């Protein structure tokens, strides 16, 4: 009976010690590079054409591995080069600069604590080196939204986002952007 009593006491003691332990948080911050393809959409498809973007991004998304939903704040700067657009009247290709700030949620679809679906929205500023018809402006402000997939791997964060920018304003742009980031505090 003393063996049973001591075993039961050890299990109760182990339960008391282990119960308050929590899952480790993922590194909340990341900074990295982005690259992808973009194109004008809707009535702006011919004016903008198609091209690529290169840039940088930083994110703050504190998430515990035991949680399935977390928040996200992401800032990105993308330099674009657009070919075959009618707006490129002075020189082809047309160069753009886009700055955006988005807030959103990260949802873990399964039990894997390193993979997340993201849904973000926010504001964006766009500057082109040439006037874009029909408004004939070079600077624009509008909304942006993205949906994506993030994968944590060996201290890095890889993401693939589908982005739609200048919501509510023209010119509308759709992009598929890949990112690689170093995670950290």
| 17 domain-assigned | no
The pLDDT value recorded for residue 19 is 43
**pTM above threshold 0.85:** no
Higher-pLDDT residue of 181, 4: 181
What does the pLDDT average to over 38-56?
92
| 14 domain-assigned | no
Q: Are 160 and 151 in contact (CB under 8 A)?
A: no
CA distance 144 to 122: 5
Q: Is the pLDDT of residue 13 over 80?
A: no
| 141 domain-assigned | yes
Average pLDDT, rounded, for the chain:
87
Number of domains in the chain: 1
| 159 domain-assigned | yes
| 59 domain-assigned | yes
Higher-pLDDT residue of 89, 115: 115
Out of 2-6, 50-54, 125-129, pick the least confident.
2-6
Q: Please report, for the domain that includes residue 54, its CATH number.
A: 2.40.160.20
User: Where in the sequence is the domain holding 94, given as residue range(s)?
Assistant: 23-184
5, burial (CB in 10 Å: exposed 0-12, middle 13-18, buried 19+): exposed
| 5 domain-assigned | no
| 117 domain-assigned | yes
Q: Are 154 and 128 in contact (CB under 8 A)?
A: no
| 51 domain-assigned | yes
128-166 confidence digits (pLDDT tens): 999 888 888 899 999 999 999 999 999 899 999 999 998
Q: Which residues contact 36 (CB under 8 A, 6 or more apart)?
A: 52, 53, 175, 176, 177, 178
What does the pLDDT average to over 173-182?
96
């Amino acid at each position: 009976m003393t063996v049973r009593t001591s075993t039961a006491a050890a299990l109760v003691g182990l339960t008391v010690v282990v119960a308050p332990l929590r899952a480790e948080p993922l590194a909340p911050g990341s900074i990295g590079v982005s690259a992808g393809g973009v194109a004008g959409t809707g009535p702006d498809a011919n004016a903008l054409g198609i091209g690529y973007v290169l840039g940088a991004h930083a994110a703050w998304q504190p998430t515990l591995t035991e949680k399935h939903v977390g928040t996200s704040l992401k800032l990105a700067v993308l330099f674009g080069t657009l070919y075959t657009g009618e707006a490129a009247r002075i020189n082809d290709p047309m160069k753009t600069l886009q700055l955006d700030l988005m807030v959103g949620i990260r949802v873990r679809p399964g039990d894997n604590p390193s993979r997340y679906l993201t849904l973000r929205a926010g504001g964006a500023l766009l500057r082109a080196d040439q006037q874009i018809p029909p408004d004939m402006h070079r600077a624009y402000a509008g909304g942006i939204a993205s949906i994506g997939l993030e994968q944590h791997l060996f201290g890095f964060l890889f993401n693939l986002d589908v982005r739609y920018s200048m919501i509510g304003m023209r010119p509308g742009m759709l992009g598929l952007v890949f990112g690689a980031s170093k995670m950290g505090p």
